[in-house]
Structure 1
């Protein structure tokens, strides 16, 4: 498991959460990038999408509850939250006591999961 913790300017470091991503989530983002590259044939579009996903994930350090509670699919009503970026959904769980956000998966929004 990879652990990323980025410090942003301003704010108190103790107020931030640690964002954890497992190897599968990195592979999910790599697959999204590859698919975007195939569809658009422009590397800039694929890079921009990957950067938007990364920015959204990093925003969870300071705003872990910004995503809505998951209410459908496999992760429904189990404490998971979701954040939408373009046509993709980031599923994550907040561990308040540990100040940790664990990204569970990143998937195409129209897929069944």
Structure 2
């Protein structure tokens, strides 16, 4: 499953995982699954959940059994260097945060 993330600054802790054609979304510890196994080819949107505090899924497209999901990728405020943190450790942490601020694709 391919996940295309559009960055958005926010406080939500969001993660995604997939097992086959089942997508699991976790938002601030709340878990919801979306099963595309029996869905035919097409584009899906209007995702809803009574469990998740916010919905990061924008759309999903299934083509020949391959699923591409468009979702919001949350990132927090710019990191601040900790008092005991080395320059290298801070630069690495800052680079990780900086990468979250751009559109990206990941395979899950």
Does the alignment reach a TM-score above 0.5?
no
Q: Which has the higher helix share?
A: 1
Q: Which has the higher strand share?
A: 2
When Rg is computed on C-alpha atoms for both structures, the one with the higher figure is 2
Which of the five TM-score ranges fits, normalised by the shorter chain? 0.3 to 0.5
| TM-score computed with the length of structure 1 as normaliser | 0.34
Does 1 or 2 have the higher relative contact order (CA < 8 Å, sep 6+)? 2
| TM-score computed with the length of structure 2 as normaliser | 0.35
